[in-house]
Chain A
Amino acid sequence: MTEITSLSLFELIKNIKEKKISSNEVAKSFIDRSEKSKKLNVYVTENFENCLKLSKEFDNKPNFDLKLPGIPIAVKDLFCTNEVRTTAGSNILNNFVPSYESTVTQNIWNEGGILLGKLNCDEFAMGSSNETSFFGNVQNPIAKDLVPGGSSGGSSSAIAANLTPVTIGTDTGGSIRQPASFTGTVGLKPTYGSCSRYGIVAFASSLDQAGPMSKDVKDSSILLEVISSFDNKDSTSIDFKRNNYSSDLTRNIKGIKIGIPKEYRVDGMPGEIESLWKKGIEYAKDCGAEIIDISLPHTSYALPTYYIVAPAEASSNLARYDGVKYGLRSSGESLIDMYEKTRSEGFGEEVKRRIMIGTYVLSSGYYDAYYLKAQKVRQLIKQDFDQAYNKVDAILTPSTPSSAFKIGEKSNDPVSMYLNDIFTVPVNLAGLPGISIPAGTDKNNYPLGLQIIGKPFDEQTVLNIAYSMEEKINYKNNITDWWME
Chain B
Amino acid sequence: MDGIMSKNNSEYLIERNDNVYEVVIGLEVHAQVTSNSKLFSSSSTKFGAEPNTQVSLVDAAFPGMLPVINEYCIKQAIKTGIGLKAKINNKSVFDRKNYFYADLPQGYQISQYKYPIVGEGNVILDMPEGQKQVGIERLHLEQDAGKSIHDVDPSNTLVDLNRSGVALMEIVSKPDLRSPDEVNAYIKKLRSIMRYLGTCDGNMQEGSLRADVNVSVRIKGSTDLGTRCEIKNVNSIKFMQMAIIYEANRQVDLIEEGEEINQETRLFDTKKNETRSMRSKEDAHDYRYFPDPDLLPLEVTDEFIDHLKSEIPELPDDKKKRFIDEFKVSPYEATILVSDIDTAKYFEEVVAKMGKNRDMKLAVNWITGELFAVLNNKNIEINQSPISAKNLAKLINLIKNGTISGKIAKTIFELMLDGDLDPQIIVEEKGLKQQSDPKALEALIDKIINENREKAIEYKQGKEKLFGFFVGQAMKASGGKANPQLINEILKKKL
| B69 engages A96 (CB within 8 Å) | no
Contacts of B457 in A (CB 8 A): none
In the assembled complex, the CB of B55 is this many whole angstroms from the nearest CB of chain A, namely: 10
Contact A236–B107 (Cβ < 8 Å): no
Nearest residue (CB) in A for B55 is A325
Contacts of B300 in A (CB 8 A): none
Residues facing A in B95-118 (CB within 8 A) are 96, 98, 100-102, 105-108
A319 touches which of B57, B100, B159 (Cβ 8 Å): B100
Contact A324–B102 (Cβ < 8 Å): yes
Q: A371 within 8 Å of B by Cβ?
A: yes
A216 within 8 A of B: no
A233 near B66: Cβ-Cβ < 8 Å: yes
Choose, from A18-26, A198-206, A400-408, the stretch at the interface: A198-206
Q: Which of A361-369, A413-421, A436-444, A449-457 lies on the face that meets chain B?
A: A361-369
> CB of B68 within 8 A of chain A?
yes
* Chain B positions 30-81 with a Cβ under 8 Å from a chain A Cβ: 57, 60-69
Is the Cβ of B64 less than 8 Å from the Cβ of A199?
A: yes
A335 interface residue per 8 A CB criterion: yes
- CB pair B294 A236 closer than 8 Å: yes
Instruction: Establish whether residues B288 and A197, one from each chain, have CB atoms under 8 Å apart when the complex forms.
Output: no
Chain A residues closer than 8 Å to B57, beta-carbon distance: 99-100
Please give, as numbers and ranges, the residues of chain B lying within 8 Å of A324 by CB-CB distance: 102, 105, 159
Contact between A201 and B63 (Cβ–Cβ < 8 Å)? yes
Chain A nearest CB, measured from B165 CB (Å): 13
Q: Determine how close the nearest CB of chain B comes to the CB of A224; give it in whole angstroms.
A: 20
For B64, B66, B68, B288, the residue with the greatest tally of chain A CB atoms inside 10 Å of its CB is B64
On whether the beta carbons of A232 and B68 are closer than 8 Å, the reply is yes
As a 0/1 sequence over residues 348 to 368 of chain A, the CB contacts with chain B under 8 angstroms (1 = contact) are: 000000000001001110010
Q: B106 near A320 (CB under 8 angstroms)?
A: yes
Q: Please, how many angstroms separate the alpha-carbon atoms of A232 and B107 in the complex? A: 24
Q: B67 contacts which chain A residues (CB < 8 A)?
A: 235
Least CB separation from A231: chain B residue: B66
A232 and B105 CA atoms in complex are apart in Å by 22
Report the minimal beta-carbon distance from A114 to chain B, rounded to whole angstroms.
21
Report how many A-B pairs have Cβ atoms within 8 Å: 96
**Which residues of chain B come closer than 8 Å to A364, judged between CB atoms?**
286, 288
Instruction: Say whether A161 faces chain B, with CB atoms less than 8 Å apart.
Output: no
Nearest residue (CB) in A for B97 is A316
B380 CB–A CB distance under 8 Å = no
Shortest A87–chain B CB gap in Å is: 10
User: Once bound together, how far apart are the Cα atoms of A88 and B101, in whole Å?
Assistant: 23
Give the interface SS of chain A, mostly helix, strand, loop or mixed: loop
- B417 in the interface (beta carbon within 8 A): no
CB-CB < 8 A to A98: which residues of B?
62-64
B296 close to A (CB within 8 Å)? yes
Contact of B157 with A by CB under 8 A? yes
Cross-chain contact A200 with B64 (CB below 8 angstroms): yes
Contact of B107 with A322 in the complex, beta carbons under 8 Å: yes
Q: Is B295 an interface residue (CB 8 A)?
A: yes
Please tell me if the beta carbons of B66 and A197 are within 8 angstroms of each other in the complex. yes
Question: Contact mask B259-301 → A, CB, 8 Å, 1/0?
Answer: 0000000000000000000000000001011100111100000
A residues near B295, Cβ cutoff 8 Å: 235-236
Residues of B within 8 A of A320 (CB): 61, 63, 105-107
**Nearest Cβ on chain B to A425's Cβ, whole angstroms:** 16
Pairwise interchain contact B63-A339, C-beta atoms closer than 8 A: no
| Chain B: minimal CB distance from A388 (Å) | 25
Are the CB atoms of A96 and B100 closer together than 8 Å? no
CB distance from A365 to the nearest CB of B (A): 9
- Closest chain-B Cβ to A270's Cβ sits at a distance in Å of 35
CB distance A235 to B69 under 8 Å? yes
B411-468 contacts to A (CB < 8 Å): none
A71 CB, min distance to chain B CBs, angstroms: 24
Chain B interface size range: 20 to 34
Distance A198 CA – B295 CA, assembled complex (angstroms): 13
Determine if A198 and B64 form an interchain contact, defined as CB atoms under 8 angstroms apart. yes
A51 at interface by CB-CB < 8 Å = no
Whether the Cβ atoms of B293 and A313 lie closer than 8 Å is yes
Interface mask (B286-322 → A, CB under 8 Å = 1, otherwise 0): 1011100111100000000000000000000000000
Q: A199, A200, A235, A359: which contacts B288 (Cβ < 8 A)?
A: A359
A316 adjacent to B63 (CB under 8 Å): no
Q: Which residues of B contact A313 (CB under 8 A)?
A: 293
Give complex CA distance A98, B57 in Å. 10
Q: What are the residues of chain A within 8 A of B159 when measuring CB–CB?
A: 324
CB neighbours (8 Å) of B107 from chain A are 316, 318-320, 322
**Contacting residue for B98 out of A236, A319, A336, CB 8 A:** A319
Q: Complex: how many Å from CA A208 to CA B57?
A: 20
Tell me, yes or no, whether A326 is within 8 Å of chain B by CB.
yes
Is A54 located at the chain interface by the 8 A CB criterion?
Answer: no
Q: Which residues of A contact B62 (CB under 8 A)?
A: 98, 100, 325-326
B-contact bits for A179-211, CB 8 A (1 contact / 0 none):
000000000000000000111111011100000
Please name the residue on chain A nearest to B101 by beta carbon: A335
Complex CA distance for A207 and B65, rounded to whole angstroms: 16
The answer to whether A235 touches B100, judged by C-beta atoms less than 8 angstroms apart, is no
The answer to whether A205 and B294 have CB atoms under 8 Å apart is yes
CA distance A367 to B289 in the complex (A): 9
Chain B residues within 8 Å of A367, by CB: 288-290
The minimal Cβ–Cβ distance linking B106 to chain A, given in whole angstroms, is: 5
B63, A202: Cβ atoms closer than 8 Å: yes
Evaluate contact between A235 and B294: CB separation under 8 angstroms.
yes
Q: What residue in chain B is nearest A313 (Cβ atoms)?
A: B293
User: Is A73 positioned at the interface, with any CB of B under 8 Å from its CB?
Assistant: no
* A336 contact set on B, CB distance < 8 A: 100
| Known contacts A206-B293, A312-B290; A322 and B63 CB within 8 A of each other | no
Contact of B68 with A233 in the complex, beta carbons under 8 Å: yes
CA of A201 to CA of B63, assembled, Å: 5
Contacts of A197 in B (CB 8 A): 64, 66
Cα-based distance from A233 to B60 in the complex (angstroms): 16
Tell whether, in the assembled complex, residue B64 and residue A325 are in contact, meaning their CB atoms are under 8 Å apart. Answer: no
Report yes or no: A319 in contact with B157, Cβ–Cβ below 8 A. no
Question: What are 8 A-B contacts defined by CB distance under 8 Å?
Answer: A80-B64, A98-B62, A199-B65, A202-B64, A235-B69, A324-B102, A325-B60, A339-B100
Given contacts A205-B294, A235-B66, A320-B106, 20 further A-B contacts (CB under 8 A): A96-B63, A100-B57, A102-B64, A198-B64, A199-B64, A205-B293, A233-B68, A235-B296, A236-B293, A236-B296, A316-B107, A316-B290, A324-B105, A324-B159, A325-B105, A362-B98, A362-B290, A363-B286, A363-B288, A367-B289
- What 10 pairs between A and B have smallest CB-CB spacing? A319-B107, A362-B288, A205-B293, A206-B293, A199-B64, A320-B61, A201-B63, A80-B64, A364-B286, A200-B64
